[in-house]
Copies of this chain bind each other. A is one copy, B any other.
């Protein structure tokens, strides 16, 4: 059976552009990892007639329909009622779900009164698989009519992700009878097209497991996917594939199944019991922000200094005035002095520094937009690397890529690799 999925998001806020349809991205990525094809995304507003028409179209061209949104009490359960009308299903009241909703209100929604509308949320299609929702009030569900499976998930991204991973994935795996296991090989320092060119033969030759490249912001990744009866059987196929890829690509692989470069760095710091600090000029706090986005970072990240002005570089980091005068802020000597000053000040094992021109304009010395220096100070001494951020089309992207380079340099240092 070939399953084709259509995602239907319901929400006027999407059509007004208040929010992006990130649920569709998350679900698409998850379905792709399960080996299920997504052919269409559709967005309609909180309008029963247009949702009905979208469902009519979807059931003709897909056999899995996953809806997001419209399950809350405020829109009178538009999604559930419209879907039930379209698929000839009745709604029935679930006492146990109603109990859970009441419990959730008591525990989490301090001060908010439960309303009669919330009771609507305990109404679900007859004979469905209930997806109870421990992270919100709107339960979801899944059912099948005439070979088409319909799954309803709540719209808020946090709830949608939880319900997909914990409720929809088991439902879909029961459906496909297929067990898919995959690993993500994360790469920084080599573009998708180059990765594709180098691994072309491996990718073409491999059918199980398969190997496919994906572009990410400022980096790329490979997903190795195996179909197998057990995890063990899958790993017996996947591990040799991963080793082979590691052998070919080498150091540009920063991790397997890690969420980001900063997570790879955080894991290495923890493993080695080392601490990090950061002195940031053009990234302006982004490196600190990225590593502290990760829970548990306080064990290894001591902190840092955002030295956005020369004054702070001198006063706080102790960069000699003469260096700033002679070479300017965007220079190798200053990057090195920033890293050394930060390491001393924060008392960390490693300190990384970034100074560069994020744009939109070149700096007062005429250094071009995109020029940056990354400094790195450890007990062994201080090094510096000049990097080019011009691949980034915006100030934000250039700062992001500068952060990538900084984390990658820390990773290299931790692994004792050449920088």
- A: residues with CB less than 8 A from B are 9, 13-22, 24-32, 38-45, 47, 50, 53-54, 57, 61, 156, 158, 214-216, 277-278, 280, 283-289, 291-293, 295, 297-298, 301-309, 311-312, 315-316, 345-347, 359-361, 393-396, 399
Instruction: State the CA gap A295–B15 with chains docked (Å).
Output: 30
Instruction: State the CA gap A24–B13 with chains docked (Å).
Output: 12
Stoichiometry (number of copies): 2
A303 touches B295 (CB 8 A): no
Instruction: State the CA gap A41–B359 with chains docked (Å).
Output: 34
A20 touches B17 (CB 8 A): no
**Which residues of chain B come closer than 8 Å to A346, judged between CB atoms?**
311-312, 315-316
**Which residues of chain B come closer than 8 Å to A285, judged between CB atoms?**
280, 285-289, 292, 304, 306
Contact A18-B302, Cβ < 8 Å, known A50-B39, A289-B286, A312-B346: no
19 sampled A-B residue pairs with Cβ under 8 A: A16-B214, A17-B31, A18-B216, A21-B41, A39-B45, A39-B50, A40-B43, A42-B43, A158-B393, A283-B292, A285-B285, A288-B308, A295-B360, A297-B308, A301-B308, A302-B308, A302-B311, A305-B306, A312-B347
Per a CB cutoff under 8 Å, which of B13, B20, B305 touches A316?
Answer: B305
Instruction: State the CA gap A30–B15 with chains docked (Å).
Output: 11
Interface contacts beyond A280-B288, A301-B309: sample of 20 additional A-B pairs, CB < 8 Å, sorted by A: A17-B24, A17-B25, A17-B30, A18-B215, A40-B54, A41-B42, A57-B57, A283-B289, A283-B292, A285-B285, A285-B289, A288-B288, A288-B289, A295-B395, A303-B305, A303-B312, A303-B316, A311-B347, A315-B345, A316-B316
Per a CB cutoff under 8 Å, which of B13, B15, B40 touches A39?
Answer: B15
**Which residues of chain B come closer than 8 Å to A394, judged between CB atoms?**
158
Main secondary structure on chain A at its contact with chain B?
mixed
B17 touches A27 (CB 8 A): yes
Instruction: State the CA gap A395–B285 with chains docked (Å).
Output: 18
B18 touches A21 (CB 8 A): no
Separation in Å of the A75 CB from the closest CB of chain B?
A: 14
A29 touches B18 (CB 8 A): yes
Separation in Å of the A291 CB from the closest CB of chain B?
A: 8
B29 touches A40 (CB 8 A): no
Residue picked from A28, A32, A38, A289, most chain B C-beta under 10 Å: A289
**Which residues of chain B come closer than 8 Å to A24, judged between CB atoms?**
14, 17, 20-21, 43
Instruction: State the CA gap A289–B395 with chains docked (Å).
Output: 12
Q: Which residue of B lies closest to A47 (CB)?
A: B39
A396 touches B293 (CB 8 A): yes
**Which residues of chain B come closer than 8 Å to A361, judged between CB atoms?**
295
Separation in Å of the A100 CB from the closest CB of chain B?
A: 18
Separation in Å of the A292 CB from the closest CB of chain B?
A: 3
Residue picked from A14, A38, A50, A288, most chain B C-beta under 10 Å: A288
A309 touches B302 (CB 8 A): yes
Instruction: State the CA gap A20–B23 with chains docked (Å).
Output: 9
